[in-house]
Chain A
Amino acid sequence: MRFKDSEHLVRLAFVFAAGLVLFLAVRHAIVPKGFGELGHYRPGALKDIAALPVKFAGRTTCEACHDEVAKVKNEGKHAGLSCEVCHGPAAAHTQDPTEHAVNKPDPKVLCVRCHEADPARPKSFPQVVSKDHAGDVSCAECHKPHSPKL
């Protein structure tokens, strides 16, 4: 086999080589910086995700201002509850309390979310058949939400 007969193959090899070089150049330009440093991913993703906005402030933040309510609640049966499970996300409220008011939920709707009797709920958990227990009367007529035990 003389070289002259394989010249077209050399040309083909050049085409492949050129393609490879082009690919490597594109790769160098496009692959995000730092990719692979911590693992097979873009490390900037960690910062991006950690920088997402917080919507729930957390009970300690609520209690820092609303300490009287906190005191009442922490001595009652609802001590283990966070404020935001009833009042909704409040981080915006901590930034600007007047601009972002916090929900005052309707007890008739919210209380039964936890306390309606359901066979799947643990037996030790306080639950009632609300129709029999109170009829149409709102739970807050008798039970104070921050300290519900009568």
Chain B
Amino acid sequence: MNHVIPGVDGFMYPNEVELQWSLLIVLYPYITGLVAGAFILASLARVFKVKEVQPTYRLALLTALAFLLVAPLPLQLHLGHPERSFEMYLTPHRTSAMAMFGFVYLWYLLVVLLMEIWLDYRKEIVLLSRSTHGLRRFIYRVLTLGSQDISEGSLRVDDRVGYVITIIGIPSAFLLHGYVGFIFGSIKANPWWSTPLMPVVFIFSAMVSGIALVLLVYEAVTRLRGQKIDMPCLDAIAKYLFYVFVIDFSLEMLDLVHRIYESDESFRTLDFMVHTRMWFSEVILQICLGTLLPLVLLGINQIVKLPDFRRRWMYTLAGIMTLIGIFAMRWNVVIGGQLFSKSFLGYTTYKVEFATREGLLPAIGLLILPVLILIVLLKLFPPWEEQEA
């Protein structure tokens, strides 16, 4: 080819050279995935009565809330006209997966997460509205909605309704992240994205990342409080993480094997892309370091009983690598889907900028922000009876 466009190999349709969905759009499914996964862990305690993970119940809910509040922000930064984004609620196009997702998000935030947290904390909120002062008191008083009733009867009502909401919350969490998967999976124009497996893979990788997140948050918060880590709790979380990870890995492998076997018209170009431009992010980061390594670390502990100290470090490392690996997975889906031409004849390059609206700096900020929000939430709504976090 004579006419050389920097970063492009082969031929791309002229409008395809520039990537449309950036790092921020990688962040968005990552964050919503953490939310869905954290919630599933919470529901293990509440609905499936897994007593061992009970110490993380409230922590998981607050973690989910902190991340869910941040989730729309990468989208707002990405939109050409964020001031018009409310149009998605005013005139949602019913055929658009993105529009319908706006309502799934709203449902999940208001009806599932906020209600469940409110019902679970209502007694503490009422008590704190009496015992604190100033701004904190005002916040608690607003949250009581004017009702000071914390009688046995009312708490029983809370418990029953909260249980129902958690039950509704489980399919809602699947819908939340499955829908994000469907947003990609329904695009027939893009063979990297278009597969019925996409929503399922997204759900399971969400669960993996969310569980890993709560594991790490639990460890960090417990240490900061100077408390002793509940090892049976950690063991239980690690066990569920392992088994969900096995399912997630199987699904990813199924997709891969299916593509290789059927070898349709898109396969050659996608295969080449993975072997060249995506070698590091897909093979090294997502598969080896982000999936196989955690599976080994977690799997060993399902077979042999190692001393507490060693187990803890293996879980921690597995958790960190999982979080990195699932981020890499989101990167590979979103960015990977835009690196190759729909003509199957060429590739482009994605250059992450630093201090622009969609650059690395805001992305880092958006990952730190939920942690800050979580700290505030932990102070307002302490998960443990002893004292504040």
Q: Are A8 and B154 in contact (CB under 8 A)?
A: yes
B330 near A: Cβ within 8 Å? no
Which A residues are CB-close (under 8 A) to B147?
A: 7-8, 11
Q: Are A7 and B153 in contact (CB under 8 A)?
A: no
Say which residue of B93, B144, B157 sits within 8 Å of A9 (CB atoms). Answer: B157
Which A residues are CB-close (under 8 A) to B90?
A: 26-27, 30-31
Known: A11-B146, A15-B145. A5 touches B91 (CB 8 A): no
Q: Are A6 and B154 in contact (CB under 8 A)?
A: yes
Q: Are B151 and A23 in contact (CB under 8 A)?
A: no
Give a binary string over A1-20; 1 marks a CB under 8 Å from any B CB, 0 the rest: 11011111101100110000
Chain B residue nearest to A40 in the complex (CB):
B93
Please tell me the number of chain B residues within 8 Å of chain A, measured between CB atoms: 22
Q: How far is the CB of A2 from chain B (nearest CB, A)?
A: 6
Q: Are B91 and A4 in contact (CB under 8 A)?
A: no
Which B residues are CB-close (under 8 A) to A15?
A: 145
Interface residues of B in 87-107 (CB under 8 A from A): 89-91, 93-94
Which B residues are CB-close (under 8 A) to A11?
A: 145-147
B115 near A: Cβ within 8 Å? yes
B320 near A: Cβ within 8 Å? no
Q: Are B151 and A5 in contact (CB under 8 A)?
A: yes
Q: How far is the CB of B270 from chain A (nearest CB, A)?
A: 29
B161 near A: Cβ within 8 Å? yes
A31–B92 Cα distance when bound, in Å, is 11
Interface residues of B in 76-131 (CB under 8 A from A): 86, 89-91, 93-94, 110, 115, 118, 122
Which B residues are CB-close (under 8 A) to A16?
A: 110
A16–B90 Cα distance when bound, in Å, is 17
Q: Are A5 and B145 in contact (CB under 8 A)?
A: no
Interface residues of A in 91-122 (CB under 8 A from B): none
A4–B115 Cα distance when bound, in Å, is 19
Say which residue of A2, A9, A23 sits within 8 Å of B161 (CB atoms). Answer: A9
Q: Are A2 and B153 in contact (CB under 8 A)?
A: yes
Chain A residue nearest to B92 in the complex (CB):
A40
Q: How far is the CB of B241 from chain A (nearest CB, A)?
A: 34
Q: Are A31 and B91 in contact (CB under 8 A)?
A: yes
Chain B residue nearest to A36 in the complex (CB):
B91
B357 near A: Cβ within 8 Å? no
Q: What is the predominant secondary structure among interface residues of chain B facing chain A?
A: helix
A23–B106 Cα distance when bound, in Å, is 13
Which A residues are CB-close (under 8 A) to B93?
A: 40
Q: Are B115 and A5 in contact (CB under 8 A)?
A: no
Q: How far is the CB of B221 from chain A (nearest CB, A)?
A: 29
Say which residue of B89, B122, B145, B146 sits within 8 Å of A23 (CB atoms). Answer: B89
B223 near A: Cβ within 8 Å? no
A92–B175 Cα distance when bound, in Å, is 56
Q: Are A7 and B149 in contact (CB under 8 A)?
A: yes
B156 near A: Cβ within 8 Å? yes
Interface residues of B in 157-211 (CB under 8 A from A): 157, 160-161
Which B residues are CB-close (under 8 A) to A9?
A: 157, 161
Known: A1-B153, A2-B153. A8 touches B145 (CB 8 A): yes
Q: Are A5 and B146 in contact (CB under 8 A)?
A: no
Which B residues are CB-close (under 8 A) to A12?
A: 115, 118, 145
Q: Are A8 and B91 in contact (CB under 8 A)?
A: no
Q: Are B149 and A35 in contact (CB under 8 A)?
A: no
Which A residues are CB-close (under 8 A) to B160?
A: 1
Which A residues are CB-close (under 8 A) to B122?
A: 8
Q: Are A6 and B157 in contact (CB under 8 A)?
A: yes
A36–B149 Cα distance when bound, in Å, is 47
A31–B147 Cα distance when bound, in Å, is 37
Q: Are A5 and B89 in contact (CB under 8 A)?
A: no
Chain B residue nearest to A23 in the complex (CB):
B89
A31–B153 Cα distance when bound, in Å, is 45
Q: How far is the CB of A20 from chain B (nearest CB, A)?
A: 11
Q: How far is the CB of B95 from chain A (nearest CB, A)?
A: 8
Chain B residue nearest to A32 in the complex (CB):
B91
- Chain A: residues with CB nearer than 8 A to chain B? 1-2, 4-9, 11-12, 15-16, 23, 26-27, 30-31, 35-36, 40
Given A1-B160, A5-B156, A12-B115, 6 extra CB contacts under 8 A: A1-B156, A8-B144, A12-B118, A12-B145, A23-B89, A30-B86
- Cβ contacts A to B, 10 pairs, < 8 Å: A1-B153, A1-B157, A1-B160, A6-B157, A7-B147, A7-B154, A8-B145, A16-B110, A31-B90, A31-B91
- Chain B: residues with CB nearer than 8 A to chain A? 86, 89-91, 93-94, 110, 115, 118, 122, 144-147, 149, 151, 153-154, 156-157, 160-161
